[in-house]
Every structure is written in C-alpha cells, then in structure tokens.
Amino acid sequence: MKKIILFFVFFFTSFFSEGQSFEGKITYTVSYKSKLSELSDQKWASMLGSEQDYYIKGGNYKSITNGSMLEWQLYNSKENTIYNKSKSPNGAIPIDASQQTDVITKTEIIKNAATILGYTCDEIIITTTSSVEKYFYSSKLSVDPSVFQKHKYGNWYEFVSRSKALPLKIIIDNHQFLMESTATAVKEIKLKDNFFDLPAGTVVLKSQY
C-alpha cells in the first residue's frame, strides 16, 4: 500500500504552442472506488487527497494535495529523487526514481479518445502485471521526455516518452482501487527555479524503498 500511496500523490486559462514545454500549474480532482472492504471510497480520498495542484518546470515537478497522509511530493531531476512530505512522521521520504516498480506487458495508443477542458486528447493505455493505467493527453501541453529519461518510478518515463505531453486525465485500475484524476484547470505560470527546492528546515528521513 505504501508504494500506491506514494505514487498517486504521485499528477484553462491559456493557449500553448506545440513544441514548447509547458510551465505552470494543472489542478485535478480525484475520485476513488475501493476494492478493499476495510477502506471505503471516502477513506481513500481522505488519505490520498481529492484535489491536487501539480506544478512543473523543465524536469522538476511538485504536487500538493489535500490528503491526510501527505502534504506534497517533489521531484528533483538532477538527483532523480522523489521527496514525499509526510504528516506522520513529520519529514520528507526520498525515493530513487530509477526504480521500476512494475513490469509493463503492453502499451497502446488510441487517437482522439476524449475532449477535456477543450483539448482534444489521445489516450495511452499501459498494462502491467498488477494494473491498467490510462492517460489522456494533448500535445498542446508538451514536455521534453529526455529530462525524465531516468524517471522509471510509476511508469512515468514510459508515459512521457510516448506522449511527449502531460496528462489531463489518469485512470488507474489495480487490486486496491479504481482511481480517476481529471484536470479542472490549466494555467501557464512562470515559476522560479527555487520553487522546486526542498523547503528550509525540511527533515529528510531514511528511505524505506
């Protein structure tokens, strides 16, 4: 369950030109349908968050949620490390993003699969040994996949290497839950580089992964 929790805390006011990496903020709403009798839909949402603000610039990203278990997740591309700021214990847990946590068995692309916030989206379906992951994306929210080449954790590079774009909707179906994360707003923002630094005073805990 820890890997699931850490990954999924895991990611329309402007127009963007194709070929230029998106810099700014995407806001998502997230819902869950539990497959575990001991955890309700509402409990998953309370733990992992029903709202997410995702910020990205170049190869760095930061995710802030309203979940009870984690405050934020930050990816440092130079270190290829994901930091998860937990509420208990109070500190940031580092994860080596080169870890491949699952075996991918098939990847498919479906063209013109949906329209989200006015963007025409293609769909990538990644099937693994333990889940089916669906990502809906538009080339107008492009990213340079080379900056994430070492980011294997959560199948992130598998997705961006094929999409060359950010997701506007994600559906994850595994043995624990069915999760849907859908963008409700996209905003281009110029972010300072230090926005992606660990906040002063952050205690880095020993990695358990």
Which H or E run contains 9? none
pLDDT band at 2 (very low <50, low <70, confident <90, very high): low
Longest dimension (CA), the chain: 46
pLDDT band at 20 (very low <50, low <70, confident <90, very high): confident
pLDDT digits (tens, 9 = 90+) for 45-99: 999 999 999 999 999 999 999 998 888 999 999 999 999 997 767 789 999 999 9
Taking the C-alpha atoms of residue 135 and residue 32, their distance in angstroms, rounded to an integer, is 16
The side-by-side arrangement of strands in the sheet containing 60-65 is 91-96, 81-86, 70-76, 60-65, 51-57, 24-34, 177-188, 165-174, 131-142, 119-128, 104-116
Structural domains present in the chain: 2-196 (2.50.20)
pLDDT digits (tens, 9 = 90+) for 143-201: 999 999 999 999 999 999 999 999 999 999 999 999 999 999 999 999 999 999 998 88
Helix (H, G, I), strand (E, B) or coil at 148: helix
Phi-psi label, residue 117: left if phi above 0, alpha if psi -120 to 50, beta otherwise? left
pLDDT digits (tens, 9 = 90+) for 118-140: 999 999 999 999 999 999 999 99
Taking the C-alpha atoms of residue 178 and residue 204, their distance in angstroms, rounded to an integer, is 31
pLDDT of residue 17: 38
Name the CA radius of gyration of the chain, rounded. Answer: 16
Tokens for 107?
């990847």
